Amino acid sequence: MKRIINFSAGPATLPLVVLEQVQAELLDWRGAGMSVMEMSHRDKEFISIAEDAEKNIRELYEIKDNYKVLFMQGGATAQFALVPLNLLRGKTSADYVVTGDWGKKAAKEAAKYGRVNIAASAQDGGFTHIPEVSSWKLDPDAAYLHLTTNETIHGVQFSVVPDVGEVPLVADMSSDILSRPLDVSRFGLIYGGAQKNIGPAGLTIVIVREDLIGDANPLTPGVFDYRGVADSDSMLNTPSCFAWYVSGLVFRWIKAEGGLEVIGERNRRKARCLYDYIDSQDFYRNPVAVPDRSIMNVPFTLADATLDAAFLAGSVEAGMRGLKGHRAVGGMRASIYNALPESGVATLVEYMKEFVRTRG
Ligand SMILES: *Cc1c(COP(=O)(O)O)cnc(C)c1O
């Protein structure tokens, strides 16, 4: 067996120990005589798996009792519609802060269901910074304010949770959920697809303050009404059982690693290692304002784009995959989620240095 260093933006690398546990339990989950894939979601075995996962994510984020944790389907993209459908609650408008392509997509989808006020956008600058909070044009009557804590494509991340007053803060955290400690009580709702930092694709985590749910637009599909999902413990219909199970193992892995303080510190070290090198020379470049740089996705360009293909081919030879940048930005992107080890980042930096020596 040869495992590569996987810098894919998503679906993305998972902790090896988790995959090994999945493998060990695959044919006969703890004496059940079947795999998790083959269990009824109503079986006591799966109920215990589901409850254990919820308990552990609650512990990791210290989620208070007035928040529901929902295990949904449809990805973050479904949430782009489900947030306005569930949270407009009779109001006509919502605020969106757009710091990259994902926030732009979220705002566009929301505009089908209500008025969208773009409170701030960094598009003019090519999505390379987060506009000053003092410059945001907030609507005091907005049903909520939506932002994307980490823009996966542009590598722009909020380093702190902005203070926006009373309006419920809604965050797409698809690519930085569980990457660092977080005060969940600052948010009305947090959502994220599992496939970046948590587990297999097919599961979407929604953490929502209970007083915000129960007044969905009547046209909201029943399976996507947060109230119904919450009341049925996310089993209104068949959930993404296997993804839920693997995600639960990842939550346990984070706890075993020392929790979010330790994981966050490690993620900062990994990012610093890469940015320090990028900033120390002229061949590679990252365009993002230093305070707003992502610790999860690090885009960088080569001084000579005609060398991109050679860089990528060489990286594969050196045991790395997934470094090709998003077409919207070009160049390279190293996604360095929780499960990407520090040694993997060190290998990448060594390879980058060697490439400059031989080809730069
Ligand atoms: C990947 C991603 C999405 C889209 O997620 P899907 O699960 O594919 O719908 C949305 N927002 C952010 C920030 C992402 O990184």
pTM: 0.98
What's the pLDDT band for 12 if we cut at 50, 70, 90? very high
- Name every protein residue with a CB atom under 6 angstroms from any ligand 1 atom: 10, 75-77, 102, 148, 152, 172, 174-175, 193, 196
Q: How far is the CA of 281 from the centre of ligand 1 (A)?
A: 32
Q: Which of 73, 152, 294, 337 should be mutated for ligand 1, with most atoms under 8 A from CB?
A: 152
* CATH numbers and ranges of domains, the chain: 16-257 (3.40.640.10), 259-359 (3.90.1150.10)
- In the numeric block, the tokens 């070009």 are attached to 330
Return the pLDDT at 289: 98
Instruction: Note the pLDDT tens digit of each residue in 240-259.
Output: 999 999 999 999 999 999 99
Instruction: Note the pLDDT tens digit of each residue in 193-232.
Output: 999 999 999 999 999 999 999 999 999 999 999 999 999 9
Q: Whose CA is nearest to atom 3 of ligand 1?
A: 76
Distance CA 187, CA 173 (A): 11
Catalytic residue list contains 29: no
Atom of ligand 1 nearest to the CA of 149: 13
Q: Which of 102, 205, 240, 296 should be mutated for ligand 1, with most atoms under 8 A from CB?
A: 102
Beta bridge partners of 93: 115
Q: How far is the CA of 221 from the centre of ligand 1 (A)?
A: 21
What are 24's two structure tokens? 């060990």
Return the pLDDT at 360: 81
Region 332-360 average pLDDT: 97
Instruction: Note the pLDDT tens digit of each residue in 168-185.
Output: 999 999 999 999 999 999
- DSSP strand E in the chain: where? 5-6, 67-72, 93-98, 115-121, 145-148, 150-151, 156-157, 169-172, 189-193, 204-209, 284-285, 297-302, 320-321, 332-335
Return the pLDDT at 349: 98
The distance in angstroms from the start CA to the end CA of the chain is 33
Classify residue 3 by its DSSP letter: P
Distance CA 129, CA 27 (A): 48
Give Cα 355 to chain centroid, integer Å: 31
Q: Whose CA is nearest to atom 8 of ligand 1?
A: 75
Q: How far is the CA of 17 from the centre of ligand 1 (A)?
A: 25
Q: Choose the catalytic residue: 68, 104, 196, 324.
A: 196
Question: Residue 4: is its pLDDT beyond 90?
Answer: yes
Return the pLDDT at 94: 98
Question: Residue 53: is its pLDDT beyond 90?
Answer: yes
Average confidence score pLDDT of the chain:
97
Q: Choose the catalytic residue: 29, 68, 95, 102.
A: 102
Atom of ligand 1 nearest to the CA of 175: 15
Beta bridge partners of 193: 204
Instruction: Note the pLDDT tens digit of each residue in 36-51.
Output: 999 999 999 999 999 9
Instruction: Note the pLDDT tens digit of each residue in 299-316.
Output: 999 999 999 999 999 999
Q: How far is the CA of 193 from the centre of ligand 1 (A)?
A: 6
- In the numeric block, the tokens 């413990």 are attached to 233
Catalytic residue list contains 196: yes
Classify residue 30 by its DSSP letter: G
Q: Whose CA is nearest to atom 13 of ligand 1?
A: 174
Q: How far is the CA of 10 from the centre of ligand 1 (A)?
A: 9
Q: How far is the CA of 109 from the centre of ligand 1 (A)?
A: 13
What's the pLDDT band for 1 if we cut at 50, 70, 90? confident
Question: Residue 35: is its pLDDT beyond 90?
Answer: yes
Instruction: Note the pLDDT tens digit of each residue in 102-161.
Output: 999 999 999 999 999 999 999 999 999 999 999 999 999 999 999 999 999 999 999 999
Catalytic residue list contains 244: no
